Structure 1
Amino acid sequence: MNVLHKDITKRIYKDAKDVWLMQVATSTDNQPWIANVFFVLDTKMNFYWLSVPYRRHSRELSHNNKAAIAVAIKTTKPVIGLQAEGTVEIVNDIVLIEKILPEYSKKYKQGKEFIALAKKGKNKHMVYKFTPELLQLFDEANYTSEQNPITLFFEE
């Protein structure tokens, strides 16, 4: 990861970590769908949310794990937002769940029982992880119109 890439991801993390809603776009059989989800992110730009498997976006992700996300960081002028495309997976790693869920619980004041239920295999919600392949930041507050959007590519 180059220095510019690292600086931009630090800015995104700082600005987006307190935003409550993210839009997740899915598609099955050439029919798009979008859903609002509560989320947390890590410093590597992975985005996590909880959902039950029977929700439409969850069902569609089980057939096609390609998705897009959008986060409106600042909705008044000058605007800041991001869009990304990537893949989604269900997180089964209890160590990762134990790392992510306390942050989620603190942010949204819910989900405190999730880890205990997950260890017992009794949680109806799953943890979903979006890993970006391409991310575009639109940041009118910190960059000129000629610099926007800033595109970041992520490698596995």
Structure 2
Amino acid sequence: MKTVFILNGPNLNTLGKREPDIYGGMTLASIEEDCKAAGAELGLAIDFRQSNHEGVLVDWIQEAGDKAAGIAINAGAYTHTSIAIHDAIRSIQPVPVVEVHLSNIHARETFRHLSRIAPVSVGMICGFGPLGYVLALRALAARF
């Protein structure tokens, strides 16, 4: 069974409470349950993690380079600022990475339009709320 790491960045631990008009009312724990159910359907083992710390995310990306068949990542605000996360993803290629965002980052503030992760990802899914995670898993499964 192939393993997919699902990595979540800063503030995603507050889903369900934080700006529900933008991010919806689901908690990260509920999204994890949905991902594990989708993973079971797709024959994938899911390793679901969240950290508010950039270096921890970099460590997990590097770990995934050795242990995972793919990564789905919602790097939160680090999407727009982190060259370190960009470089970590680049360093594990050809492991495919799908970038996920709950909201449509291109319909929000201008500073959110730039993704430092997109150039080293196989694709981006944004604007579909929690369904984006399941779509990312389906996209990764189609590549294996």
Settle same-fold status: TM greater than 0.5.
Answer: no
Using structure 2 for the length normalisation, give the TM-score. Answer: 0.27
Larger helix fraction of residues: 2
Using structure 1 for the length normalisation, give the TM-score. Answer: 0.26
Higher gyration radius (CA): 1
Larger strand fraction of residues: 1
Higher relative contact order (CA 8 A, sep 6+): 2
